[in-house]
Chains A and B, each alone.
Chain A
C-alpha cells in the first residue's frame, strides 16, 4: 500500500515515457513477468507458468466457489484488475478475459502494455486450444501440449463410455437461472452422457427457467450451486419445496466446488463426477459400451 502511494506521482508523470518505451521494447520469446486479471485466465496461467513467471492473479482466484486452484492461488499476490496495479507492476504480458474489464483492457492497450484476451464463451471443445494458446504465450509449449493432450484423451475416454441411455439433467442455479446451449455447463452435461433439459427447451446461454417448467419436465438430475457463506434469496429457488417434492429426481451440487466455473483443465473433474453419477442411475447395458 505505502509503496503504491509513494510511486503514484512519478508513475503518472512517467506515463507517456513508459508507454513509448514499452512500444519500442523488442518482443522477447517468453515474457518474464506475467499478470493475470481474470479468474479464468488465472486457472490457465497457474497451471502453466514457470516458477516466478506469474507475478499476480486476480483476487477471485482465492474464492473456492469460482476457482478450482484457490489453494494454489494463495502463493501469489492478488490484484483487483485495476489499470493502476498493472501500471505499477509493469508486467511484460497481461492476460485477461474478453468481457470482464473492457475499460481496463482498452486503457492498458493504449498505454502500450501487451494484453492478451481470452474469450469465455467456451465449451469443452475449446479448452485444449485455450491451454495451448496460453502455453504459447508463456513460452511453455511443451507443458501445455502435455496438459492439453491429457485433457483431450480423458474427455474422449469418458465420451466413449456413453450409450443410448441418456438421463435428463438441468444445471439450475441462483434465482432459477438455467445454463443452456453454448455454455460450458451444457457441454459438460453432454460429455458426461446426460441430456440438458434447458438446451432441449431452447435456452441459449444463461437464462431464467421457470420453476414450474422444471417440475413439469421431471429431470432425473438437478445440479444446483452450493450455498455460499453469505445468504441470498436467490439460492432458495433451487431449494424450493417443489423441487424437493419430486420423487425420482436427484438434486445436489454433484460437481466439485468451482470445477465448472472456468474453461480450464480442471473442468474434467466436473465431467468425471457427472459421468459417474450417470453410471449410477442409468448404467449402460453390458456389451453396448466398450
Chain B
C-alpha cells in the first residue's frame, strides 16, 4: 500500500474513533448537545461533561495510543525482536512501580506531579536494564524472559507498596495500576502527560534512520556511519518518556505496541522507519476503540481498558510465539 494512502486511512480511522469516544458516556447526551457543549462555554451540564470529562478522556486515548504504538514499533525494529513491546518487556510495569512508589508514599503530598516523575524514572531504568541485557545476549528469548521477570517483579512490588500504604483504600487501586483505565481522568492529566509524550515521539522520530540501519545488524550500521550511542540514547529516552508519561496517568495498558506494528507491517515496505507513523496512528485507533468498548460492555461499573487490550493481545502474543518458534529459537 502506498505510504501516503495508509497514513491517510489510519488518520481518518483514528479521528473517527476520537469523535466516537467523545459521544459515548453514561450521561446520555444528544448528539447536538455533545457537539455544542464542546465549543460552548459556561456552566451547563453538557458543556462541563464534554470539556472536563469526555475531552480529556478522548485526548488521552489518542495520545497514549500513539505512544504505545510508536514505542512498540521502534522497540521491535531496534531490538530486531518481533515480540518486543513496552508491556511485555516490562517497561510499563516498572513505570507503574515508579509512579506508585513516589505517589503513595505521600512525599509529594497528594500532588499528581509525583506520578510522571516516578514513572519516567521507572521506565528509564527498565529500558537501560533491557538494553544492557540485549547488548550482552542478542537472543530474542533472553530479552523476552528478562522482560517477563521484570514485569512480574514490578507487579509484585507495586502490590506490596499499595498494601503497605496506611490508607486502606490504596490497596483497591492495584487493579488500576496492573490493568489500566482511562476513567475519570481530567485535563490536569492531559497537561501532565501530553508534553512529555510529545517529546518522546520527537526523540523516537529522530532515531528513525538509525533503526533502519540497525535492521542490517549493529556492525553494518556502524560502518554506515550511524552513531550508535546517540541512537541508543534517543530510543531509551523516547520510549521512557512516552511510555512513562502514559503509564503515569492511565496505569499499565498492554499489548497495543505488540498488536499494531504486526498488523500494519505487511502494509508497509517493511523498513522499520516507515512503520513508525502508521503504528502510532494505529495504536491511537486501537486504544480509542478499546476504550469505547470498555464503556459499552459494562455501562454502570465500566471495565478497565487494560483488561480488553489484554484479551485481544495475549492470544495474539501466543500466536506470534507459536509462529516465531519455527523461525527464531
Contacts and interface: CB of A to CB of B under 8 A. Distances in A.
- Our verdict on whether A and B bind, yes or no, reads yes
Interface of A: 174-176, 207-208, 210-213, 215-216, 218, 227-237, 240-242, 245-248
B300 interface: yes
A218 B45 CA distance: 7
A228 B48 contact: no
B307 interface: no
Given A208-B302, A228-B167, A240-B186, A234 B172 contact: yes
Contact of A241 (B106, B109, B187): B187
Interface of B: 25-27, 29, 43, 45, 48-49, 52-54, 103-104, 106, 109-110, 112, 165-167, 169-170, 172-173, 176, 184, 186-188, 300-302
Contacts of B300: 207-208, 210
Contacts of B54: 212
Contacts of A212: 25-27, 49, 53-54
Given A211-B184, A213-B26, A234-B169, 8 more contacts: A216-B49, A229-B106, A232-B165, A232-B167, A233-B173, A241-B52, A242-B186, A246-B48
Contact of B45 (A175, A207, A216, A227): A216
Given A241-B186, A242-B52, A233 B27 contact: no
Q: Which of B26, B52, B106 has the most CB of A within 10 A?
A: B52
Contacts of A174: 169, 172
Nearest to B42: A247
Given A208-B302, A212-B53, A213-B26, A230 B184 contact: no
Contacts of A228: 166-167, 169
Give 8 nearest A-B pairs by CB, closest first: A231-B110, A242-B52, A210-B26, A212-B27, A247-B43, A230-B167, A216-B27, A230-B166
A16 to B, nearest CB: 36
Contact of A233 (B43, B109, B176): B176
Contacts of A241: 52, 186-188
Given A216-B27, A230-B106, A211 B53 contact: yes
Contacts of A216: 27, 29, 45, 49
Contacts of A233: 103, 173, 176
Given A210-B26, A212-B27, A227 B110 contact: yes
Given A210-B27, A215-B48, A241-B186, A231 B167 contact: yes
Given A175-B172, A210-B27, A213-B27, A236 B112 contact: yes
A241 B300 CA distance: 21
11 contacts: A210-B300, A211-B184, A213-B26, A215-B27, A215-B48, A229-B167, A230-B104, A230-B167, A232-B169, A241-B52, A245-B43
B49 A215 contact: yes
A227 B111 CA distance: 12
A236 B301 CA distance: 18
Given A208-B301, A210-B27, A176 B167 contact: no
Contacts of A242: 48-49, 52-53, 186
